[in-house]
């Protein structure tokens, strides 16, 4: 989920090229709806921007509360130093996201 169209579309294209099944959402409500339609291994959520209807932290909290197990890996994306992933996220990636770094992260990260 990301409110920035170019970033969202670019990440979707990259992930598709890497062989991942990708769904996109421009806002929190659409992201929550999409996440309940089928299980996901990983969900990338923008936390630095202002999603139009629900912030990234709120979306992640609701996903943790509302999705049945197994829970997806929740990855925060923001323009800040990665450091520790803010609760309730599992990981943090800094934007702009380097395509090679994202590919490596997904290859080496244990999906749930």
User: CA-to-CA distance for 20 and 78, rounded, in angstroms?
Assistant: 22
Task: Note the pLDDT of residue 112.
Answer: 47
Q: Does domain 1-70 have CATH number 3.40.50.2300?
A: yes
What pTM did the predictor assign? Answer: 0.84
- Crossing angle of the two packed helices 99-108 and 5-17, in degrees rounded to 10: 50
Q: Which residues pair with 46 in a beta bridge?
A: 77
Of the ranges 4-13, 77-86, 95-104, which one carries the lowest mean pLDDT score?
A: 77-86
Boundaries of every domain in the chain: 1-70
Q: Is 21 helix (H, G, I), strand (E, B) or coil?
A: coil
Model pLDDT for residues 49-69, shown as the tens digit of each residue: 555 566 788 889 999 999 988
């Amino acid at each position: 989920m990301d409110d920035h169209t170019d970033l969202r579309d670019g990440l979707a294209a990259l992930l598709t090229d890497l062989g991942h099944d990708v769904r996109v959402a421009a806002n929190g409500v659409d992201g929550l709806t999409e996440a309940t339609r089928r299980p996901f291994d990983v969900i990338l959520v923008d936390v630095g921007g202002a999603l139009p209807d629900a912030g990234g932290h709120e979306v992640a909290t609701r996903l943790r509360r509302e999705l049945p197990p197994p829970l997806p890996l929740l990855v925060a994306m923001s323009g800040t130093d990665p450091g520790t992933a803010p609760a309730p996220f599992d990981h943090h990636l800094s934007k702009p996201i380097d395509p090679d770094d994202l590919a490596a992260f997904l290859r080496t990260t244990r999906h749930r």
